Amino acid sequence: MAGGAASPLAPLLALVGLVLCCFAASSDAELPRLAHPAKPDGSLSLLVVGDWGRKGGYNQTDVAVQMGRIGEELDIDFVISTGDNFYDNGLTGVDDKAFEDSFTKIYTAKSLQKPWYTLLGNHDYRGDAVAQLSPALRAIDRRWICMRSFLLDAEVAQFFFVDTTPFVHSYWTNPEDHHYDWRGVAPRERYVSALLKELDAALRASPARWKFVVGHHGIRSVSIHGDTKELVDLLLPLLRSNGVDLYINGHDHCLEHISSNDSPIQFLTSGGGSKAWRGVFIPNSDKLQFFHDGQGFMSMQVREGRVEVAFYDVRGGVLHRWSSAKELHPSLSDLIVKLVGATPVGGGFFPLFSPMWGLWTSAMLVVMLHVYTIIVCTSSDHLVCCTSELPPLLQSGLPQQSSVLFQASSRLVLVRYGPNIIP
């Protein structure tokens, strides 16, 4: 501001600074964060495959060939592996030739020479799980990116990868003849509790228009493994409360699309990377949209206002398509739900007026868990924000105006200022 004049928002900005300090002092551990740029037009294309690593056997090579063809058609940006990367018992170490025999030598198409963002499955935990996390494998094949749990920011969407194997009680209490590599995980209760807290914080803080959670085990499935009770009890409530759009998994060796009956969440299984054809069908209470008890994979195309999903069989034929759209200019009430993570509780409206602005604005003070979130908006019930400082959720199609966006832990604080802020 010219001439050193005091800003009319100085008291408000001071309050915001105090809130941010409180957040910083109380922040917990966070999910590791990776970034992958979208295309110049803001779109994103990818493939999803799971349960594949059999040195080319059980039609793994055939699936890989079709992945290469579809990957070229869609100009994919990366591949997601939903786990069970190496059968039957993971890798024996970083020098295990199964890594190259089941991965490097199989997925050879040019279109698949992109990053592979990868999770561990239960079969991976039966070997040297730490080896799959080692940077030594990246030295062998630069595509390989494997972590237990992490956040992938792809600009137009955010992907939250969750290590689901430790959730399952039976792997701990009744492992049968298998040995599970729990290094860095045990004790179970502490690990799972910490992971859920980190995931909840990351989802609440996410400004993304699209939120996708990726795990190995299914939450809902009609195939041989059925629903995973531990995920239904512990993970699903977080997805519902944080506006997650898709839950993507493998584990069952099939392709599935199930719609939740009590939320917008879609459950997508892509576990047909090799051995399949279990011959089991177990209906559940949610709505089954599609089920293929065989090999195949899945594609996703994501734009700011739309996501498109397709499932392919071992010959590359399209078996099922689904899409979903979101308004580019949702109402203020919708945005509050997305940004704050829940409907306002105990809050209220109060007017702010400045003769310098020459207009009225409304500010909502939302009180949740004793945390104050301030969202300033126009009376037209739409936010108008500076595109250079906003997350992808609010960037497209909004006129450039003066605003300040503060992000702290699991809350967003938006403060608007200056003249000419009504579209």
Confidence of residue 29 (pLDDT cuts 50, 70, 90): confident
pLDDT at residue 204 is higher than 50: yes
CA dihedral 380, 382, 386, 391 (to 10 degrees): 170
Four-residue CA torsion sign, 222, 295, 165, 48: negative
Q: Which residues are catalytic?
A: 225
What's residue 28's pLDDT? 56
pLDDT at residue 31 is higher than 50: yes
Mean pLDDT of 364-392: 35
The model's pLDDT over 132-153, given as tens digits with 9 standing for 90+, comes to 999 999 999 999 999 999 999 9
Exposure string of 358-373, with b = 16+ CB inside 10 Å and e = fewer, is eeebbebebebeebbb
Task: Name 168's Cβ contacts closer than 8 Å, sequence gap at least 6.
Answer: 122, 217, 228, 230
pLDDT > 90: percent of the chain: 70
End-to-end Cα spacing for the chain: 23
Separation between Cα atoms, residue 191 and residue 309, nearest integer Å: 33
Task: Name 3's Cβ contacts closer than 8 Å, sequence gap at least 6.
Answer: none
What's residue 371's pLDDT? 33
Tell me if residue 170 falls in helix, strand or coil: helix
- Predicted TM-score (pTM) of this structure: 0.74
Domain 33-325 falls in which CATH fold?
Purple Acid Phosphatase; chain A, domain 2 (3.60.21)
For 322-350, the three-class secondary structure string (H helix, E strand, C coil) is EEEECCCCCCHHHHHHHHHCCCCCCCEEE
For the chain, what are the domain ranges? 2-27+329-416, 33-325
279: alpha, beta or left? (left if phi > 0; alpha if psi -120 to 50)? left
Confidence of residue 327 (pLDDT cuts 50, 70, 90): confident
